[in-house]
Structure 1
Amino acid sequence: MDQHSAPFCPLRAIQISRIMRPDDANIAGSVHGGTILKMIEEAGFIISTRHCNSQGEEHSMAALARVERTDFLSPMCIGEVAHVSAEITYTAKHSVEVQVQVIAENILTGDKRITNRASLWYVPLSIRNVDKVLEVPPIEYTDTEQEENGRKRYEAQKLERLATKQKNGDVILPMISLDRHTKEPHTVNFSQSSLIHLVGPSDCTLHGFVHGGVTMKLMDEVAGIVAARHCKTNVVTASVDAINFHRKIQKGFVITVSGRMTFTSNKSMEIEVFVDADPIVEDTRERFRAVSAYFTYVSLDEKGKPLSIPELKTETEDEKKRFEEGKMRYLQTKAKRQSEKLALTQQ
């Protein structure tokens, strides 16, 4: 009998919690967005790996394939407890969808608020053969509508992941400080930034490949540098568009995390971030694009109120094209939020 013809596993959920320490803070004093992203991925990794090993004899570890749009609804403060809840909401033959919610708790008053929501997709890789994708144990759904909605989400993310994989983009070279003074402020070249990181054992899973959460934290750091250079003010992560993990990054590789401004509205800015991996020890393997995403940042004053964003000055046809594409994503997101607000008011 086909494994997926006889669902047996109930929906599963876990929660991990920890207090936010001073070393989790960004320069503004609130919790770094990359820290939250890393915690989200850790919860997703734990629950999906547990589920994928709940049936069958061959052990596996869940590898992150994609993170859907993540909104930062409220800043997390140092001293608060972050409660990260993860639940498996859909399984395909080789994929697991995990929905994650983050709640901040003030342990002095007991007040709680939602800070983040995200959906992540994982695939189980065999422990013995990392190139072998194993089958996922199915789950039981409360009704056919829940299963059908999950299937639609699966098909949509699969198409988007394949489309994004074909778009490699340009390489952003690291820029030294002296060169930056020759660039005009508020241009793409002025704020673009890169970070070079040698992948060590502490960055990796038991497979010897980089944890998705480690990569996302580095990407958020670079995006924050780009945003701060553009605005010259305090900036915070507002949201992250789908993060696509195209290829695995091994221990010992050198990764270059690059970011560039693509679009600005009056109150937000979009930064394209991608990760290139360079297997410097193996001459037979070439540099490749491993991860790509779009981060949205906002600028805040000393009281945490939004500031206007300096308009991005585009200089080349490629920059103008990316600006228009970013504007389209911005308008689509704005329309979706307005539609969701309208739906809530009508309930």
Structure 2
Amino acid sequence: MSDSRAAHTPPVMSAPNSPSSSPSIQICRIMRPDDANIVGNVHGGTILKMIEEAGCIIGTRHCNTQTGDRCVAALARVERTDFLHPMFIGEVAHVSAEITYTSKHSVEVQVNVVSENILTGSKKVTNKATLWYVPLSLQNVDKIIEVPPIEYSSLGQEELGKKRYEAQKLERIETKERNGEIITPVFLPERQTKEPYTVGFSQSSLIHLIGPSDCTLHGFVHGGVTMKLMDEVAGIVAARHCKTNIVTASVDAINFHRKIKKGCVITVSGRMTFTSNKSMEIEVFVDADQLADTEKGKYRAVTAFFTYISLDKQNKPLPVPPLKLEGEEEQKRFEEGKLRYLQNKAKRVADKEQKQ
């Protein structure tokens, strides 16, 4: 669950490598009380924002190594991100980002996050993420700049990157097509009429005005800012459902369908879709409303699924109350969530066996 206040500690960055090789950077920052929840667990949204900042820096830097229009790398998609270990107040987050594939108009950035306990010296890998960026011209935001190629260590590395590129491109298109519905925001007192453990009882919405501090040089919102708000809403939904300490366990692919401009009002809405014995899946949408251009109306900008777990005072997983379903639509979403849960579980088992 994220905190809506941004941390202002300046990042420390390593020098860039040669643009022709695989460019990489590292940023690091100590985790402060406003980065975490009341029991000291760092919000997933804080970590997602740091991941996106590193990706944006390296993507923008690489795309400006050539002559021609200056550009800013805009986040298009974040692949599934697992939170492998919790991070706590006082630990240092080391975020390493590397460009691993470039197509004609997009950049793949792979990011690793390591937490360091500076009292004991122990380190743990907390996150691994893959992000896709598109470089947009500073002169014309609708113009996509061509990306300078990188050198690959082998032909196989380039082929694998191309497969990942084609797969994410197809899934992004499919996700955009099936997410036209605008969720009606649910606020108090509406939820007071809902029965506990139902979708309506825990559903939550947040309204945020996009200001200058939220935006890139283009005047469009940073992807990391949006993800932080999404995690905040998803965390509220999870906490309302189980009434315990909750932490982000994973985030399925986050798709950025349309840009959000400075001055827009965004509505971030989350609803419970599936519960297993020890996890909760929350579907989160970001809908944008351009106040200065009422003819265009509200549109769906970002979509994702967040998974949370419930913890006791010793940070041990607790059973999650079953979700009470009402109607065919909720049943359908539950079955779709169950399928995603089983697929992800099978993938984790396969990955574990492969490492052994």
SS in 2 for 1:259: strand
Aligned with residue 245 of structure 2, among 234, 244, 254: 234
Letter paired with 2:318: L
Q: Corresponding residue for 1:79? A: 90
C-alpha distance in structure 2 between counterparts of 1:247 and 1:137, whole Å: 24
C-alpha distance in structure 1 between counterparts of 2:35 and 2:117, whole Å: 16
**Residue 218 (1) aligns with residue 229 (2):** yes
C-alpha distance in structure 2 between counterparts of 1:60 and 1:169, whole Å: 30
Q: Corresponding residue for 1:184? A: 195
Instruction: Summarize the Cα distance change of 1:77–1:338 in structure 2 as closer, same or farther, 3 Å threshold.
Output: same
Q: Corresponding residue for 2:215? A: 204
Q: Corresponding residue for 1:158? A: 169
- Structure 1 runs, 4 residues or longer, greater than 4 Å off: none
1:9 Cα deviation after fit = 1.2
C-alpha distance in structure 2 between counterparts of 1:96 and 1:181, whole Å: 46
Native 8 Å contact 2:235 2:246 kept in 1:
yes
Residue correspondences, number: 338
Native 8 Å contact 1:172 1:192 kept in 2:
no
Aligned with residue 78 of structure 2, among 64, 67, 91: 67
Q: Corresponding residue for 1:34? A: 45
C-alpha distance in structure 2 between counterparts of 1:178 and 1:129, whole Å: 44
Letter paired with 1:22: P
TM-score normalised by the chain length of structure 1: 0.96
C-alpha distance in structure 2 between counterparts of 1:275 and 1:182, whole Å: 25
1:156 Cα deviation after fit = 0.4
C-alpha distance in structure 1 between counterparts of 2:224 and 2:20, whole Å: 27
C-alpha distance in structure 1 between counterparts of 2:131 and 2:96, whole Å: 13
1:243 Cα deviation after fit = 0.1
SS in 1 for 2:248: strand
C-alpha distance in structure 1 between counterparts of 2:112 and 2:214, whole Å: 24
Native 8 Å contact 2:187 2:205 kept in 1:
no
1:182 Cα deviation after fit = 1.6
Q: How big is each residue's C-alpha offset from its partner over 1:304-341, in whole Å with a ceiling of 9 and x where there is no partner?
A: 11011111111111111111110010000000011011
SS in 2 for 1:261: strand
C-alpha distance in structure 2 between counterparts of 1:318 and 1:174, whole Å: 17
SS in 1 for 2:237: helix
1:205 Cα deviation after fit = 0.4
Letter paired with 2:270: G
Q: Corresponding residue for 1:168? A: 179
Q: Show structure 2 runs of 5+ residues with no match.
A: 1-18
C-alpha distance in structure 1 between counterparts of 2:102 and 2:88, whole Å: 34
Q: Corresponding residue for 1:136? A: 147
Q: Corresponding residue for 2:6? A: none
Q: Corresponding residue for 1:321? A: 332
Native 8 Å contact 1:267 1:307 kept in 2:
yes
SS in 1 for 2:189: helix
Q: Corresponding residue for 1:96? A: 107
Q: Corresponding residue for 1:4? A: none
Native 8 Å contact 2:41 2:247 kept in 1:
no
C-alpha distance in structure 2 between counterparts of 1:38 and 1:108, whole Å: 25
Q: How big is each residue's C-alpha offset from its partner over 1:281-313, in whole Å with a ceiling of 9 and x where there is no partner?
A: 212222100000000000001111101111111
Q: How do residues 14-53 of structure 1 correspond to structure 2 at under 5 angstroms?
A: 14-53=25-64
Aligned with residue 343 of structure 1, among 328, 340, 354: 354
Native 8 Å contact 2:289 2:298 kept in 1:
yes
1:176 Cα deviation after fit = 3.4
Over the residues paired in the alignment, what is the CA RMSD in angstroms? 1.0
SS in 2 for 1:177: coil
Q: How big is each residue's C-alpha offset from its partner over 1:129-173, in whole Å with a ceiling of 9 and x where there is no partner?
A: 000001000000000111111011000000000000002253333
Letter paired with 1:18: R
Q: Show structure 1 runs of 5+ residues with no match.
A: 1-7
1:27 Cα deviation after fit = 2.5
C-alpha distance in structure 2 between counterparts of 1:127 and 1:238, whole Å: 36
Letter paired with 1:59: R
SS in 1 for 2:317: coil
Aligned with residue 265 of structure 2, among 246, 254, 257: 254
Native 8 Å contact 1:172 1:194 kept in 2:
no
C-alpha distance in structure 2 between counterparts of 1:117 and 1:283, whole Å: 40
Q: How big is each residue's C-alpha offset from its partner over 1:224-251, in whole Å with a ceiling of 9 and x where there is no partner?
A: 0000111111110000000000000000
TM-score normalised by the chain length of structure 2: 0.93
Native 8 Å contact 1:20 1:77 kept in 2:
yes
Letter paired with 2:178: K
Q: How big is each residue's C-alpha offset from its partner over 1:187-227, in whole Å with a ceiling of 9 and x where there is no partner?
A: 11111100000000000001000000000000000000000
Q: How big is each residue's C-alpha offset from its partner over 1:21-45, in whole Å with a ceiling of 9 and x where there is no partner?
A: 1111112211111000000000000
**Residue 112 (1) aligns with residue 123 (2):** yes
Aligned with residue 311 of structure 1, among 322, 329, 333: 322
C-alpha distance in structure 2 between counterparts of 1:12 and 1:138, whole Å: 11
C-alpha distance in structure 1 between counterparts of 2:282 and 2:253, whole Å: 13
SS in 2 for 1:118: strand
